Amino acid sequence: MNTNEVVTALAKSRDMSKTETRQLLDVILQTFNDHLARGQSFTVPGLGTFSTHTREPRRSYNPHYKQYIMLPPKRVIDFSPSKGLKEGLKQAETEDE
């Protein structure tokens, strides 16, 4: 499912025009991005928690060149799905079986 399909579905359920939906969604995602860039974590109910953490610098090995390299620290995004999302999927799984 790509963005277009999501927007189409959203526009249908919200009874809005697609352009409007798209604009609104963009603003929302932009807000998400801004908060993550600032290192703030937030929870979207039903979806999950977005947060960031800093990955410590670490030693690594390139087996191809047989070289040891030092990886710099990095800030990455964590996503932990909310319980609802997980459970819904579990149920879907069991229903399948």
Residues contributing to the site for another protein (CB under 8 A): 1-3, 5-6, 9-10, 13-14, 24-33, 35-37, 39-48, 50-54, 59-60, 67-77, 79, 81, 85-86, 88-90, 92-93
Q: What angle do CA 2, 25, 48 make, to 5 degrees?
A: 75
Pairing of the two strands 74-81 and 67-71? unpaired
* Residue whose C-alpha is closest to residue 52's, from 80, 81, 85: 80
| Choice between 45 and 64, CB closer to another protein | 45
> Nearest distance from residue 78's CB to another protein, in Å?
9
> Nearest distance from residue 63's CB to another protein, in Å?
11
For residue 71, what are its two tokens? 């990886």
